Structure 1
Amino acid sequence: WETIHRPELFKICNDVISVYFYFNVQNFQARPDDILIATYPKAGTTWVSQILDLLYFGQTERQKTIPIFERVPFLEILVLTFYTVKLLPTTPRLIKTHFPIQFVPKSFWEQNCKIVYVARNAKDNMVSFFHFDRMNIAHPEPGDWSNYIHRFMEGKMVFGSWYDHVNGWWKKKQTYSNIHYMFYEDMIEDTEREIDKLCSFLSLSNSAEEKKMIAGGVQFDKMKKDEMTNYSTFSILDFKISPFMRKGKVGDWKNHFTVAQNEVFDEDYKEKMKDPTLQFRTEI
């Protein structure tokens, strides 16, 4: 093992994981009242997880003592480790995933589970993913920014192509009514409005005062300082390189893209995003 370079090791691990997923992911048993939070990585997963946890269970000791990744576990980790969400004491069970649509276990569809999907514009999503890959020792090294842009456009990313991910879930929404498709930019623009929409979709009757309090409590700067939401207790992340919650802004891509890179990216984007009904904002 000592003679295997990091890229080779990741390839071996990914091959093993892929085979494991193929044979095991479809065996996961969802319950009718499960809530699945689905996102491409770095698109607002932790944010929406915290909002839903507060909407369903209120301000309790669990938010002060249990990290968000235990309160709302990743489906991928559950499948990989044979861990079961039956150990979750809550009803409903809140589960999150970065799976593209084709990997979601069939039991979620069979049980008619409600799914909250969060999408973020490609440019900001890529910037955030780049810095996350830099500090996540479980991910392949991102390399330099210029090459990373091409990797992103080619879909050579952990969890695959952003374009396939957001389009696949958008298309599924047209035939499966229990998907609530949200946009990160809308949440930044008016968090309370988006919480109202979530409550309507989930048939929750939280008071206006509760929703206002939640909206104030989940603002980026507050969550970034909270050890139970900022992933500072998650051992595979190197905070000396970058924080897990870095900026949380719309438009930070402008600080990374050169004019030439932006032109190339925009041309490629037009080729891959043909559905006029799915529109993203890169600034607000």
Structure 2
Amino acid sequence: MEFSTKKIDDVELNTHIVGGVRHRRQVTPRKVLQDLQTFEIRTDDVVVITYPKSGTTWMQEIVSVLRHNCDFQKADQDFMRERFMFLDHQIGNEIAPYIKAKTQPSPRLLKTHLQKHQLPPQIFAKKAKVYMYFTCMKRNTSHQTPTSSPPHHFISLHTVYSFFFQVIFVSRNPKDTAVSYFNFHLGVVDLPKYTWQDFLHSFCIGDVVYGSWFEMNAYWWSQRKQKHVLFVKYEEMHQDLSSVILKVSKFLGWPVPDGKLADIVLHCSFDSMKSNRKVNFSEHPLMNIESYPFMRKGIVGDWIHYFTKTQTEKFDELYEHKMQNTGLQFEYISKTIRV
């Protein structure tokens, strides 16, 4: 569905297409994507996967705090990009995060925005401990004759698979995602610059960095019942953060200490994180944080300030077409929206 057909001059200059998906030339070179195909996933890895601007950093901070037993000073001792290895992201001549991850102690915290077919294949392998046990069953002897053989015992082998590595996928309604991602492009040095109309068109056809929102979200929504996958909506985090924290805590097996939940909610609130230099990317070399802050509004419903009536109608039609058989629905307006 077309919103615009204008060609953006710097799209081809600053990005390249690998495996049918557009990527940033400067931070996601072809070699990174190739090397990730042999990247080994450990059984106790925690992998946060999202489409960009869907609450990634928010979830990372929650996981970090839980990982360190709700010790905020220890959790924020390092910058977020040092705590979570951003697998598909390399800046300049720095050692690629996926290489650093190979020597990190377990459990490792990993992050990625990659589409399914570009993720390390081991993410989809049933990497698990295997438990085998035997049961002994006696043959039914009620019909035996005096000349029958003695009763036999049968051995039955049972196998139980138990997943250990865990995937947390955070999903955000596509309208707010598009608006936030559009503004993100304005604030990142090496990303193409669009008008809103041109960006929305590219977003809808999946021709933006990291590809199609629809394909990524449809896939992980289909995996939500897998025991090693937790599917969380950004809107849930916005509406009831404490419930989401408890859900993540239970999923990871990292309990919230008694009396600490309210403190975690405050620490992981949008306003707190926006002022936290260890998570707000204010010192990131590729971010123009003064003009376009990495953490902008943190609300549900900002799309209403960008989408025209015609754009809204066309987008709704597109969503129904792309996601008609998934059952994935979102809250698009929040009662607590801040203008």
Alignment TM-score, normalising by the size of structure 2: 0.76
Letter in 1 for 2:184: F
CA distance in 1, matches of 2:77, 2:86: 19
1:46 and 2:57 matched = yes
1:95 and 2:103 matched = no
Letter in 1 for 2:48: I
Indicate if the aligned counterparts of 1:78 and 1:84 stay in contact, CA closer than 8 A.
no
CA distance in 2, matches of 1:64, 1:213: 14
Indicate if the aligned counterparts of 1:100 and 1:169 stay in contact, CA closer than 8 A.
no
CA RMSD across the alignment: 2.3
CA distance in 2, matches of 1:15, 1:209: 44
1:163 and 2:175 matched = no
Indicate if the aligned counterparts of 2:66 and 2:255 stay in contact, CA closer than 8 A.
no
Larger Rg: 2
* Shift in alpha-carbon separation, 1:11–1:220, aligned structure 2, 3 A: closer
Partner SS for 2:41: coil
Partner residue of 1:86? 102
Indicate if the aligned counterparts of 2:167 and 2:229 stay in contact, CA closer than 8 A.
yes
Q: CA deviation at 1:62?
A: 3.8
Q: CA deviation at 1:239?
A: 1.7
Indicate if the aligned counterparts of 1:78 and 1:85 stay in contact, CA closer than 8 A.
no
Partner residue of 1:229? 279
CA distance in 2, matches of 1:60, 1:87: 25
Q: CA deviation at 1:282?
A: 0.7
More strand by share: 2
Q: CA deviation at 1:105?
A: 0.9
* Gap runs ≥5 in structure 1: none
Partner residue of 1:134? 186
Q: CA deviation at 1:75?
A: 1.2
More helix by share: 1
Q: Deviations over 1:46-86 (max 9, x none)?
A: 00000000011132544444111111121112799362213
Give aligned-pair identity as a percent: 32
Partner residue of 2:253? 203
* Shift in alpha-carbon separation, 1:207–1:240, aligned structure 2, 3 A: closer
* Shift in alpha-carbon separation, 1:177–1:224, aligned structure 2, 3 A: same
Partner residue of 1:144? 195
Partner SS for 2:281: coil
Indicate if the aligned counterparts of 2:178 and 2:203 stay in contact, CA closer than 8 A.
yes
CA distance in 2, matches of 1:234, 1:18: 19
Partner residue of 1:74? 86
CA distance in 2, matches of 1:92, 1:270: 39
Q: CA deviation at 1:127?
A: 0.6
CA distance in 1, matches of 2:201, 2:31: 29
Alignment TM-score, normalising by the size of structure 1: 0.90
CA distance in 2, matches of 1:190, 1:66: 27
Indicate if the aligned counterparts of 1:251 and 1:283 stay in contact, CA closer than 8 A.
yes
Q: 1:7 aligns with which of 3, 7, 11?
A: 11
Aligned residues: 277
CA distance in 2, matches of 1:120, 1:209: 30
Indicate if the aligned counterparts of 1:199 and 1:205 stay in contact, CA closer than 8 A.
yes
Letter in 1 for 2:171: A
